[in-house]
Amino acid sequence: MRSGRLACFAVTMTCLASGLAACVMSSDDLAMEEDGSWTGSSSGSSTSGGPVSPVAPPPSEPEDPETVTCDQLDDEQPLVLYLSADDSNSMASPTLARALMPDSSSGMNIRVYEFLNYYAIDYPAPPAGELSIIPQMEASGEGGYYDFQIAVRAFDPPTERRPMTITFVLDTSGSMGGVAIERERAVVTAVAESLQEGDIVNMVTWSTENAVVMSGHTVTGPNDPAVVEQANAIAAGGGTDLNGGLVAGYELANLHYGLNRLNRLMLISDGGANAGVVQPDLIANNSKDGDQEGIYLVGVGTGEAYSYSDTLMDTVTDEGRGAYVYIDSLEEARHMFVDRFEEVMEVAARGVQVELTLPWYFQMHRFYGEEYSENPEEVDPQHLAPGDAMIFNQVLRACDPAVVVASDEITVKATWETPITYETKSTSTTMTVGQLLDGDTAQLHKGKAIVAYAEALRTGASQDLHAALTVVEAANPGADPELTEIAELIKGHPAY
C-alpha cells in the first residue's frame, strides 16, 4: 500500500472510530433524514430535461433562456459551456423504469442521461488511446431552435485487457431474500465468467456483521471454481450494516491494490441498507489518488423494483467515481457483466471534461446531461469506458433566427487523463453551423428518440407516450432492436 493511500485511509478510519458528526457528512454531501430520504447540496447543478439555466449563474445573467434577447448578449463574446453526462457506465435508470412500468402509470424518477448511456448509439471508434468528437445538428420545428448532439467516443477495448482486482461487498441482510439474492448470485457468477487468469478477487458479506470470505484469491481463469462456489453460497439473513461492509471491503481492496491493475469495489445491494452511517469520505477518498488510479466503486442494485430505492446507490457511486447499474432479471446480470463487462468495469479515459464553444447568439434551451456551467469548476469531469461514448443531447435556442450565420463555427473540445499514467490529453473538433446542418443526423435521431421515451416516462402522461412513440418510430427505419424494444415498452405502458 502506498503511503498517500494509507494516510488517507487512516484518517477515514479515525473518523469512523471517533463517531464525530463532522466525519459523517461534509457540507457538500447529501444527508439522510429520519424518513430515509436524502437532502443536501447539489452544487447548483441544472435539472436534467426542461428549460434550464447554467449552474450558479451570475446575478446579472437571465435565468430563463426564453427571455434572452439579442440586445442582452455581447455579439463579440462566444458562449462557452462545460458539460457533464455522469460516468458513461452509469445506467440504472432505464432498467429500473422498465421493471416498474407494468405496474406504474404515474411519473418516475428518471435520469435521462442514464438512458443515453444504456442504449447504444453507434459512432465510429477512434485510434487506440484516443477519443473522437462527433457533433450533429438539425433545425427543429420551431424557428430558432436546434437539436444538437455531441458524442465523445472512446477507442475500442484492446484484445487483451489489463488485470483486475475486484472486491465484492455483498449485501446478505434479511431484506435480500427472494429475487434480490438470486440476482446478486447471478451478478457474481457473470463476473466470474468474465474473469481471466491472474485477476484477484476479494469478497466480504455484510448484514448485522461483516465477514471476509475471500481475500487475495488469484483467479485461475473464467468461471474460477472458488469464486463460483462462493457465489452459490450467498444467503440472506441479518441486519443492514452497510458501513461495516464498506470499511472491510476497502481494507481488502487497499491490501491487494495493484499499481498496474484496474481496482474495482463492487457494492451489490437491494437498496434497503442503513444509509445513515455511510461515510462519503470513505468512498470518495478511496476512489481517487494523487498519483495513481483509485479504487472505483461499482454499485449494483438487485432488489424488487416496487420496493427498491436507488437514492443510496446513486449517491455512493457518484462519490465513488464509478458505474451504477440496476439488475431487473437474471438475463440482465449476464448482459451487463458478460456482454458489456469492459464497458461497465474498465476505464479508457479519466476525468473527461467537455468544453462547448457556441456563437454568441445561442443559449441552452434544454440539456439532457447531468449538469453544465460556464464555470468549469462547477462541473465534475467524468470517466469514459472503452468502446463507449458520452452522449450530450440538447436543444439550442438562437435569440433571433435571423442572426444565425452558416459560416459561424462551433467547437467541441475534450480533455482527459490516461489511466495509470495520468497523462493529460486533449482533442477538439470545429465545424460551421452550415456544415452541421448539412451533415448526417441518424445518431441524433436515435438520441432524440431515447430522450423522448425517457421524458414520457417522467410524466407518465398518455399524450407524451404517444408523442414519444411517434419520435421513436420515425428514428427507426432500419428496425434497430433497441428502438424496437423501446416502442414495445411504450405500447405496454399502462397509460398509453
Same domain, 331 and 428: no
Q: Does some domain include residue 31?
A: no
Note whether 195 and 341 are same-domain residues: yes
Q: Which domain holds residue 418?
A: 65-157+348-447
Does one domain contain both 195 and 139? Answer: no
My answer on whether 326 and 422 are in the same domain is: no
Question: φ, ψ for residue 448 (rounded to 5)?
Answer: -60, -40
pLDDT, one tens digit per residue, over 336-350 is: 999 999 989 998 998
For 61, which DSSP code? Answer: S
Give yes or no: residues 298 and 224 share one domain. Answer: yes
Share of the chain above pLDDT 90, in %: 61
Query: 340 and 356 share a domain?
Result: no
Q: Is the residue at 333 inside a domain? A: yes
Lowest mean pLDDT segment, chosen from 85-99, 222-236, 249-263, 429-443: 85-99
Are 341 and 353 within one domain?
no
User: Residue 117's domain is classified under what CATH number?
Assistant: 2.60.40
Helices (H) then strands (E): counts for the chain = 15, 18
> What rounded mean pLDDT belongs to the chain?
83
Cell numbers found for residue 428 = 477538439
Q: What is the count of structural domains for the chain?
A: 3
Asked whether residue 205 is assigned to any structural domain, the reply reads yes
Tell whether 49 is covered by a domain.
Answer: no
Residue 287 has what pLDDT? 60
pLDDT in tens, 15-56: 333 332 333 333 333 333 333 333 333 333 344 444 433 333
Is the domain of 132 the same as that of 258?
no
Which residue blocks in 256-334 are alpha helix, DSSP H? 280-287, 311-319, 330-334
Distance set, CA 30 to CA 27, 164, 250, 256, 360 (Å): 8, 31, 21, 30, 36
Residue 258: inside a domain: yes
Q: Indicate if 97 and 207 belong to the same structural domain.
A: no
Residue 226 has phi, psi (to 5 degrees) of: -65, -40
Gap between the Cα atoms of 405 and 70, Å rounded: 14
pLDDT of the residue at 296: 85
CATH of the domain at 281: 3.40.50.410
Q: Give the residue from 318, 345, 372 where a domain finishes.
A: 345
Contacts of 239 (CB under 8 A, 6+ apart): 173, 174, 207, 208, 274
pLDDT at 105: 58
Asked if residue 152 and residue 100 are part of one domain, the reply reads yes
Q: Decide if pLDDT at 4 tops 60.
A: no
If you average pLDDT over residues 265-287, what whole number do you get?
68
Q: Confidence class of residue 13 from pLDDT cuts 50, 70 and 90?
A: very low
Mean pLDDT of 226-248: 87
CA angle 280–255–272, rounded 5-degree value = 35
pLDDT bucket at 414, cuts 50 / 70 / 90: very high
Same domain membership, residue 321 and residue 309:
yes
Grid cell, residue 321, equals 467515481
Give the three-class secondary structure for 63.
coil
Query: Do 246 and 304 sit in the same domain of this protein?
Result: yes
Strand, coil or helix: what is 33?
Answer: coil
| DSSP state at residue 207 | S
| Packing angle of the helix pair 242-255, 3-18 (nearest 10 deg) | 160
Residue type (1 letter), 75:
D
Residue 26 within a domain: no
CA–CA distance, 245 with 206 (Å, rounded to integer) = 5
Amino acid identity, position 301 = G
In-domain check, residue 58: no
Among 345, 360, 377, give the residue marking a domain's end. 345
